[in-house]
Amino acid sequence: MALDEATTAFLTEAAKAGGPGLHEMSPQQAREMNAGLDGLFGAGPDLESVHDVEIEGKDGAFPARVFRPEGARGVFVYLHGGGWVVGTLSGFDTLCRQLADRTGMTVVLVEYRKAPEHRFPTALEDGWAALEWVDARRGELADGGELVVGGDSAGGNLAAALTQRVARDGGPQIDFQVLVYPVTDADFATDSYLDPQNATMLNREAMEMFWDHYVPDRDQRTDPGAAPLHGDVDGVPPALVLLAEHDVLRSEGAAYAEKLRAAGVEVTEHVVPGQMHGFFTFPNVLPGAAQGMDLVAEALARRQG
């Protein structure tokens, strides 16, 4: 189906503002543009507590925000999207408040360090440090429950890579993964990349730019830490995979879901119709965001019984 009316209206208004395309922006310009969207989302629900922390990474510190609902059970480590280049705690505050409220889990939003100042594998190492930080404080963060890792786009890429690392090398036990239109490969010639209907919020040129910032060495782009589709998924936890119908990343997300199924991993996959890349991260703006949140909350509720 075509893009839904709300998305079409949003893109029409955005086009009226003019300006360069995302792929024509410097990292700083992209960050400023992205920050300008924060005011659209409104306030998220009140929670028992919300506070910021600093986590020590492999060679430096980075911030995270902890969202704890009343009676928290389980912890959800959320790695945000933004092409490994953009994204802040404030930009995902409303989303993570909703996520904590709807799931009853403490959500730890990780603001890993960004490219091009911090290239691969810094973001992945920061995600690993965040997992270890959470695992050491499980009793403080929630009253029992599972450990879930997830994220959208570049954050979904990091979440998938982290679950593979745990399955391969050991580490904090991850019980479930939530992958929202994840980046899983650096192949710009898939069916969804080649479909012109999908060049909406994100297009091929923008993704090429993000990869150039994050993994400029093309020989590294098949490293499973950068491209999980090339990794070993034996032993990774069950997954919820949410994809957007009109998204250049849809094919690689679907390919990763199939790779998981072929390895015997339990997978629930949804292609949300009428949606573009980024729909999940527009709470209170796009109806698709509420639909996506429903799917995540329902999947986690089934696990909690």
Residue of 4, 152, 185, 247 marked catalytic:
247
Say how many C-beta atoms besides its own lie within 10 A of residue 29's C-beta: 14
For residue 78, which phi and psi values (nearest 5 degrees)? Answer: -110, 125
**Interacting residues of 273 by C-beta distance below 8 A, sequence separation 6+:** 1, 245
Cα separations (Å) of 299 from 124, 232, 238, 272, 302?
25, 24, 11, 15, 5
Question: What is the rounded distance in angstroms from the CA atom of residue 68 to the CA atom of residue 84?
Answer: 26
Within 13 Å, how many C-alpha atoms sit on residue 220's CB side?
Answer: 12
Active-site residue, from 80, 118, 213, 277:
277
Sequence-distant (6+) residues with CB within 8 A of 180 are: 81, 150, 151, 152, 153, 155, 156, 242, 280, 292, 296
Is 277 tagged catalytic? Answer: yes
Does the annotation count 247 as an active-site position? yes
Amino acid at 206: A
Q: What is the Cα 218 distance to its own chain's centre?
A: 23
Which residues face 152 on adjacent strands?
A: 180
| 230 catalytic residue (yes or no) | no
Distance separating alpha carbons of residues 299 and 292, to the nearest angstrom? 11
Determine which one of 153, 185, 192, 246 is catalytic: 153
- What are the catalytic residues? 153, 247, 277
